[in-house]
Amino acid sequence: MVDMSPELVTIVMFGLATVGILIGFPLVFVLGTVAMLVGTLALGASGAWSLFYARIWDMMSNYVFLAVPMFVFMGMMVEKSGAADRLYAGLHLAFGPFRGGLAIATILMGTILAACVGVIAASVIMIALIATPSMLQRGYNKELVCGCVCAGGTLGILIPPSLMLVVYGPMAEISVGKLFMGAFGPGFLLSGLYMVYVAIRAWLRPEDAPPMPLEERQVSMTHRLHVLVTGMLPPLFLMFSVLGAIFFGIAAATEAAAVGALAAVALTFFYRRLTWPVMRDCMLETMRITSMALVIGWSAQMFVGVFLRLGGGEVIQDVLLAMPGGKWGTFFAVQFIIFALGFLIDWIGIVFIMVPLVSPLAPVLGFDPLWFAMMIVVNLQMSFMTPPMAYAIFYLKGIAKPEWNIDTGHIIRGVTPFVGIIVIALILCILFPDIILWLPHQMIKF
C-alpha cells in the first residue's frame, strides 16, 4: 500500500478525474477507474473492494431510491398520454391574443408539466414539438422561441416531483418530502421571472412576439374556458395526487411516487392511449434512465467513498472554510464550483460527488441545510443551458425540424437571458430565504 496524504489524495483524484473528463471519457468510467486505482494503491485490494461493496450496498438498500423508477415511469406515461397537447391548446387560446402570449403559454405549460414529468428529456421534447411550430408560424423571434422552450422544459428538474430532488435527498440526508416543498417557491419564482421577461421583451420589441391573428381570436369565452379547464384539470389531478399526499403527511416520497405512477396510467387510459406498445416503451425507457442514474451513482459512491476514507473531505472543507469573506465567502465559493462543474459534467455526477462533500458545511456555517440544498439545486438549473454539457440545448437541436430553420447559435443566444434570470432568482432567495423555507414549515408531519 502507498502512504498518501489527504492533500495528495485530493490533487491526484480530482486531477485524474478532470483530465479524464476533458479527454472525453464517460463520467461513469472516469470516476470508477480513479476510485479503483487510488483505492487499491492506498487501501489495498481487499480494503478498497470492501469499501466499494459497503458504499454501493448502502445506496441500493436506500428505500428512497425506489422512487426514482416510479417517477421516471410517471413522466414517460404522461408524455405518451397526450395531456401536453390538450394543455397547450387551452393555454394557446387563453394567452394567444396577448403580445408574447404564446411564449408565456409555453413557459406556463413547462411549469405545469414540471409537476407531472420531472424528466428533462421528456419535458423539453414535448414542449418543443408542441409549442415551437405554433410560435414560429406566427412570426415569433427564433431566439425567444428557443429560450422559452429550453427554460420552460428545464423547470421539471426543479419543480416537484423532480428526479434531481429524489437523488439529492439521500446524498444530503435531507427528507425528500421537505426538498419537494422547498422547491416550489424557487420553481414558481423562476417561472414568474421568465414570464415577466417575455412580457417586457414583447412590450419593448413587439416584432419579437406578435399577438395571435384576429381571426384566430374570434372564439367564444365559453369555448376558451372549456378547452382551458379540460386541458389543465388532468395534470393538476396528477400533481395533487403526488404532492398532496406528501404535504398532508399521508405518504412519504416513495409511496407518493407509486401513487403518481398509478395516476399517470389512469390518465393515459382516460385519454385512450394506454396500449401495450405504449406500456412497453415506457417501461423500457424507465429501465434505461434508471440504470444510467444508478451506474453513475455506483461509480460516484466508489469515488467519494475512497476520497472521504483517505481524508480528502476534510481538505475540501478546510479550503472552503478558509475562504475570505466568512460564511458568505464559503457559500459563494461552493456556488461557483457547482456552476463551473455544470459546464463539464451532468447534474447526476455533480450531486453524487459534491453533495456529500459540501452538505456538512451548512450547519457549520450557520445556514439552514434545506435552504443550502435548494440553492445548489437552483444553481444546477443553469447547467442544462450552459454548453458544452447543456442537455436542453442538445435535446432541442436534436429534434428541430429542417423547416424550423433553427441552428445551435439561435438556441445559445436564446437561453442566455434565462441563465441570467436564474442568477437573479438565486439573489432573491438569498435576500428572502422564506421563498424556500415557508412551505416546508407548513407541512403536516407524517
The per-residue pLDDT for range 395-405, each reduced to its tens digit, is: 888 888 888 88
Of residues 54 and 241, which shows the higher confidence score?
Answer: 54
Residue 51 has pLDDT above 60, yes or no: yes
What are the cell numbers at 238?
A: 396528477
**Residues in contact with 216: Cβ distance below 8 Å, sequence separation at least 6, in sequence order:** 96
Question: Picking from 298-302, 422-426, 429-433, which range would have the lowest pLDDT averaged per residue?
Answer: 298-302
Residue 77 has pLDDT above 50, yes or no: yes
Question: Picking from 242-256, 294-308, 420-434, which range would have the lowest pLDDT averaged per residue?
Answer: 242-256
Alpha carbon 204 to its chain centroid, in Å, reads: 31
- Return the pLDDT at 332: 95
Residue 446 has pLDDT above 50, yes or no: no
Residue 388 has pLDDT above 80, yes or no: no
Of residues 433 and 156, which shows the higher confidence score?
Answer: 433
- Mean pLDDT, residues 141-149: 93
* Mean pLDDT over the full length of the chain: 87
The pLDDT confidence band at residue 218, using thresholds 50, 70 and 90, is low
The C-alpha angle with vertex 406 and arms to 400 and 409, in degrees rounded to 5, equals: 120
Of residues 445 and 339, which shows the higher confidence score?
Answer: 339
pTM for the model stands at 0.85
Taking only the tens place, the pLDDT of each residue in 326-351 is 899 999 999 999 999 888 888 888 89
DSSP string of 90-133? HHHHHHTTSTTHHHHHHHHHHHHHHTT---HHHHHHHHHHHHHH
The C-alpha angle with vertex 168 and arms to 167 and 169, in degrees rounded to 5, equals: 95
- Mean pLDDT, residues 215-223: 68
Percent of the chain with pLDDT over 70: 97
What are the cell numbers at 300?
A: 460516484
DSSP 8-state code for residue 218 = -
- Return the pLDDT at 227: 78
- Return the pLDDT at 387: 82
Taking only the tens place, the pLDDT of each residue in 150-207 is 999 898 888 888 888 988 998 888 988 889 899 999 999 999 999 999 999 999 999 9
Question: Picking from 54-58, 416-420, 422-426, which range would have the lowest pLDDT averaged per residue?
Answer: 54-58
The pLDDT confidence band at residue 428, using thresholds 50, 70 and 90, is very high
Residue 86 has pLDDT above 60, yes or no: yes
How far apart CA 413 and CA 250 sit, in angstroms, is: 45
The pLDDT confidence band at residue 375, using thresholds 50, 70 and 90, is very high
- Return the pLDDT at 89: 80
Percent of the chain with pLDDT over 90: 31
H/E stretch holding 357 = helix 347-358
